[in-house]
Amino acid sequence: MSDFRSDSVGMRSGGAGEDPLLRRLYDRLRPFLRLFVSLIVTFLGLLAITFFIGRVIPIDPVLAVVGERAPPEVYEATRKAMGLDKPLIVQFAMYVWQVLHGDLGVSLLTSRPVIEDIQRVVPATFELATLATIIGVVLGVPMGVLAAVHAGRWPDHLVRVIGLIGYSVPVFWLGLMGLLLFYGKLGWVGGPGRLDIYYDGMVPTVTGMILIDALLAGDMDIFWNAVSHIVLPASILGYYSLAYIARMTRSFMLEQLGQEYITTARVKGLSEFRVIWVHALGNVMVPLITVIALSYASLLEGSVLTETVFAWPGLGFYITNALVSADMAAVLGGTIVVGTVFVGLNLLSDFLYRIVDPRAR
Amino acid sequence: MTKKGNDRSVPPVPEEAPSGAGGLRAWLESDAPTSAFQARCVRAWLTWLKFSSNPLAVTGLLIIVALVLVAVFAPLLMTHDPLAQNLSDRLLPPGEKGHLLGTDGLGRDIYSRVIAGSRITLYIVGLVTITAPLFGLLVGTVSGYFGGWVDIVLMRITDIILAFPKLILALAFVAALGPGIGNAILAIAITSWPPYARIARAETLTVRNADYIMASRLQGASDARIVLAHIVPMCVSSVIVRVTLDMAGIILTAAGLGFLGLGAQPPTPEWGAMIAEGRKFLLDQWWVATMPGIAIFLVSLGFNLLGDGLRDALDPRSGQA
């Protein structure tokens, strides 16, 4: 009996020299490690899917290079040169290697490397999605708070209706209707594209984001023209983000408002304004950040259709243009980029949540 | 899910059953059902009471019923042949020359095309909601039942597909398979099964060690039999609720693919493709793009309302305070 006890104590003290430190380090790092591993696995999965899609196409990639009438020797040689005679797993490894080195193939449409095309179009999408998220946050958070505070009354119903419409209206149709009303009938905003045609190419490209480039060039005419063009697509996308953010804010706030510290704050005699907008909202901020990250990720998806409607020269427009002309390298390259950003934002929001909220660890 | 917070949809507690009155209602609201069949009927009836006390849910149901009726009786409702072109009657505004909603760029009657489109929409939704949940159920139950490596591998694949933006993935699949309504359906199904697999797996984990599973294993039931006959039925109801909630999303994705020219091909009167055609005339002949959009909006609104109502009525954790 005593043997056993001393033994166990000995074991514990024996390890105490270095173990706790390592252990704590490991505990600290574990979320990062898990994030890293799941990022890698998911990324490989994404590449596996695009690789699979690329091979499923019923076109022989060799024929596309050598042409129909190439002699069999040339065909075989090209096939070897392209690595298509190797086992599938080796081909996949080669594919991953290429993608990791930024080689996404060459676009049929522009005959430039896909990666260069994408670098050129990404700022436009970034600009649009960021502006939409700002709209969504600035309007959505207060609406969600009001809906929670007045649960069951008209602000609450309003948020519910906005959400319901957001889930039911096709985004491309809403965009067309917006164009019809605000551009066609009322003339309040600019039409499709990022600028009126006579301003095209007048600002030097620095960041690729037209608003910032115009400001850098100091040309306010162009800046306001760009604003009139971006405001509609950004509002349409922002609407979807608003609907989601308001709904989530509402449910987070309801949870907070039912807690005891809120009663305490009220009993202390704090103003209702302070209780709601400082105490409750402050605690909601943490989960809200993850919601905003998620909504940003889903905007990338919504931007595919919105950009097509507004002829907005971003990633979504690039992908749909490539689709129409069966430019597979460009489609798959775009898919990889969007997918990677999407996965990254998802994991990041999950991770942030775990870091900031100790209960979720 | 459970934070919906409005408890207006609490089912009316059945009043004291009028004694002696052996009516159907009394039988349906009985506290002490005498047979398994009656118990099932009572349960269904109470669910229905709860569902029908929610006006939004009933509105949704009515929209969907109307959609089905329109699709069934489409030939009777159409005033013109949806494919017949009449170039001398191009782009007529609504109401002119007997064209209720006007005509499109080829002189086809928009009203008849919208009606015909309801069949295509139902066809797409029907096929996706049969294939994707079945596949998801299979993956989820197998994964949950066998556990171990099977579970890890299957769930990893599920998570990977779940991690992607659905529309982008569907676009890439259609790009590879070629445009067309069949391929669009396939692409949507491929991208929408993972949530069902997750739900089915979660349900399976809660029942896999239940006594009745043990009992049937002791009786010599095979794994396939246990999964198909004893586990799958337990997962069906939560999967169905999720499917109803997803239907609007399926419609919107299908319409989006159609709009991009990757779904149904012209001259098929698919709503998304019709909007794409109307885009050319947007500023001068607004009705061409507007009408099919209203149809999409109404139908997905109907499915959303129905899904919300079903969830509130079927989910024992919400409502029933």
Predicted confidence (pLDDT) per residue in A274-292, tens digit: 888 888 888 888 788 888 8
Whether residues B172 and A335 touch (CB distance < 8 A) is answered with yes
Q: Which pLDDT does position A61 carry in this prediction?
A: 64
Q: Is the pLDDT of residue B181 over 60?
A: yes
SS3 label, residue B234: helix
- Tell me the average pLDDT across A254-262: 86
Q: Is the pLDDT of residue A114 over 80?
A: yes
Please state, rounded to an integer, the average pLDDT across all residues of chain B: 83
* Residue B53 · residue B9 · CB < 8 Å: yes
CA–CA distance, A185 with A195 (Å, rounded to integer): 19
Whether residues A45 and B157 touch (CB distance < 8 A) is answered with yes
Q: Which pLDDT does position A12 carry in this prediction?
A: 44
A304 chain-B contacts, CB cut-off 8 A:
167-168, 171
- Hey, how many other C-beta atoms are within 10 angstroms of the C-beta on B28? 19
The percent of residues above 70 in pLDDT, for chain B, comes to: 91
The residue of chain B nearest to residue A339, with distances taken between CA atoms, is B164
SS3 label, residue B125: helix
Q: Which pLDDT does position A65 carry in this prediction?
A: 64
Q: Which pLDDT does position A2 carry in this prediction?
A: 40
Q: Which pLDDT does position B93 carry in this prediction?
A: 81
Least confident of A250-264, A275-289, B5-19, B196-210: B5-19
> Is the sign of the CA dihedral A44, A49, A52, A54 positive or negative?
negative
User: Is residue B145 packed enough to be buried (19+ CB in 10 Å), middle (13-18) or exposed (0-12)?
Assistant: buried
> From the CA of A209, how many Å to the nearest CA of chain B?
23
Q: Is the pLDDT of residue A208 over 90?
A: no
3-state secondary structure A258-327: CCHHHHHHHHCCCCHHHHHHHHHHHHHHHHHHHHHHHHHHHHHHHHHHHHHHCCCCCHHHHHHHHHHCCC
Q: Is the pLDDT of residue B19 over 50?
A: no
Least Cα distance to A230 among A128, A119, A334, A303 occurs for A128
In this prediction, residue B317 has a pLDDT band, given cuts at 50, 70 and 90, of low
- Tell me the average pLDDT across A132-144: 93
The residue of chain B nearest to residue A316, with distances taken between CA atoms, is B168
Q: Is the pLDDT of residue B166 over 80?
A: yes
Q: Which pLDDT does position B179 carry in this prediction?
A: 84
B293 chain-A contacts, CB cut-off 8 A:
169-170, 173, 176-177
* A261 interfacial to chain B (CB closer than 8 Å): no
Q: Give pLDDT tens digits for A172-185.
A: 999 999 989 998 88
Q: Which fold does the domain A123-360 belong to in CATH?
A: MetI-like fold (1.10.3720)
A254 chain-B contacts, CB cut-off 8 A:
3, 5
Residue, of A103 and B121, whose pLDDT is higher: B121
In this prediction, residue A9 has a pLDDT band, given cuts at 50, 70 and 90, of very low
State how far the alpha carbon of A246 is from the alpha carbons of A197, A249, A280, B39, B125, in Å: 37, 5, 15, 41, 29
Q: Is the pLDDT of residue B72 over 50?
A: yes
- Residue A254's contacts (CB-CB under 8 Å, 6 or more residues apart) are A148, A151, B3, B5
B172 chain-A contacts, CB cut-off 8 A:
49-50, 53, 331-332, 335
User: Is residue B46 packed enough to be buried (19+ CB in 10 Å), middle (13-18) or exposed (0-12)?
Assistant: middle
Residue B116 token pair: 């015909």
Q: Is the pLDDT of residue A48 over 80?
A: yes
Residue, of B215 and A103, whose pLDDT is higher: B215
B168 chain-A contacts, CB cut-off 8 A:
301, 304, 319, 334-335, 338-339, 342
Residue A181 token pair: 């009303």
* The length of chain B, given as a count of residues: 321
Q: Is the pLDDT of residue A152 over 60?
A: yes
Least Cα distance to B270 among B126, B127, B114 occurs for B114
In this prediction, residue A238 has a pLDDT band, given cuts at 50, 70 and 90, of very high
Residue A309 token pair: 């409607």
Whether residues A298 and B165 touch (CB distance < 8 A) is answered with yes
Q: Is the pLDDT of residue A35 over 60?
A: yes
For chain B, where are the E strands, in sequence order?
A: none
Residue type, A153: R
* Residue B200 · residue B136 · CB < 8 Å: yes
Residue A31 token pair: 């979320």
Whether residues B301 and A319 touch (CB distance < 8 A) is answered with no
B283 chain-A contacts, CB cut-off 8 A:
179-180, 183-184
Which of B257, B259, B288 to mutate: most A Cβ within 10 Å?
A: B259
Whether residues B163 and A346 touch (CB distance < 8 A) is answered with yes
State how far the alpha carbon of B260 is from the alpha carbons of A306, B123, B192, in Å: 11, 19, 19
* Residue that has been written with the tokens 């002189």 in this structure: B107
Angle in degrees, CA B261, B174, B271, rounded to 5: 35
Residue A192 token pair: 């499709």
Residue A39 token pair: 């990022």
Angle in degrees, CA A171, A303, A311, rounded to 5: 90
B249 chain-A contacts, CB cut-off 8 A:
167
* B161 interfacial to chain A (CB closer than 8 Å): yes
Residue B96 token pair: 């002119």
- Tell me the average pLDDT across B122-130: 91
State how far the alpha carbon of A256 is from the alpha carbons of A249, A253, B291, in Å: 10, 5, 44
CA–CA distance, A190 with A182 (Å, rounded to integer): 9
Whether residues B165 and A338 touch (CB distance < 8 A) is answered with yes
* Residue A236 · residue A131 · CB < 8 Å: no
> From the CA of B204, how many Å to the nearest CA of chain A?
24
CA–CA distance, A78 with A68 (Å, rounded to integer): 13
Long-range (24+ apart) CB contacts under 8 A made by A94-97 are: A95/A47, A95/A51, A96/A44, A96/A47
- ipTM over the 0.90 cut-off: no
* A328 interfacial to chain B (CB closer than 8 Å): yes
Residue, of A352 and A278, whose pLDDT is higher: A278
Q: Is the pLDDT of residue B4 over 60?
A: no
* B318 interfacial to chain A (CB closer than 8 Å): no
Q: Which pLDDT does position A16 carry in this prediction?
A: 45
* A257 interfacial to chain B (CB closer than 8 Å): no
In this prediction, residue B6 has a pLDDT band, given cuts at 50, 70 and 90, of very low
> From the CA of B170, how many Å to the nearest CA of chain A?
10
Please state, rounded to an integer, the average pLDDT across all residues of chain A: 81
- Tell me the average pLDDT across B252-277: 88
Nearest to A331 among B172, B259, B289 (CB): B172
State how far the alpha carbon of B70 is from the alpha carbons of B115, B119, B137, B239, in Å: 7, 8, 31, 27
Q: Is the pLDDT of residue A8 over 70?
A: no
For chain A, the structural domain boundaries read 30-100, 123-360
The percent of residues above 90 in pLDDT, for chain A, comes to: 12
Nearest to A180 among B176, B283, B304 (CB): B283
Whether residues A305 and B171 touch (CB distance < 8 A) is answered with no
Q: Which fold does the domain B56-82+95-314 belong to in CATH?
A: MetI-like fold (1.10.3720)
CA–CA distance, A238 with A154 (Å, rounded to integer): 22
In this prediction, residue A56 has a pLDDT band, given cuts at 50, 70 and 90, of low
CA–CA distance, A74 with A53 (Å, rounded to integer): 26
Q: Which pLDDT does position A360 carry in this prediction?
A: 53
Whether residues B301 and A168 touch (CB distance < 8 A) is answered with yes
Residue, of A198 and B211, whose pLDDT is higher: B211
Least Cα distance to A44 among A95, A118, A103, A104 occurs for A95
The model's pTM: 0.82
In this prediction, residue A256 has a pLDDT band, given cuts at 50, 70 and 90, of confident
Least Cα distance to B171 among B296, B274, B256 occurs for B256
DSSP B90: T
